[in-house]
Amino acid sequence: MSQLRMPQSLLNRLGSDTAEAALRHEVMEEQAAALGRMGRKAEAALATLRAHQGEGRLETLRTAADAVWCFLVQREVMGLRDRAAVVAQYDIPREVMVRLGAR
């Protein structure tokens, strides 16, 4: 867990309940860290998929789809719902996107 604290001036502006504000800040930090982890995992899985041809590609494809699904879910939890931008930025192949159904 991070050792950083929210600046006191910001806490004062958030209201008198500094414990609640500090907790909200920590939750936001954890969400951002989780989003970063999921993004790196998705990038690595997509890079592996692009490099992998032949035997075992189906399993690599499943792994990439799972990593992308987790990343998109984490984004949605944070209120970031624009999938089209993510698909374009990460160059997510169609074969991965069609495997992102209900689980």
What is the pLDDT, as a whole number, of residue 18?
Answer: 78
- For residue 67, give its domain range: 8-97
6 pLDDT tier (thresholds 50, 70, 90): low
pLDDT for residue 1: 53
Residue 2 lies in a domain: no
pLDDT for 91 equals 95
The per-residue pLDDT for range 13-47, each reduced to its tens digit, is: 555 577 888 888 898 899 999 999 999 999 999 99
Residue 59 domain-assigned? yes
Count of structural domains within the chain: 1
Q: pTM for this structure? A: 0.76
Nearest to 32 by CA among 95, 89, 82, 75: 75
Tell me whether residue 41 is in a domain: yes
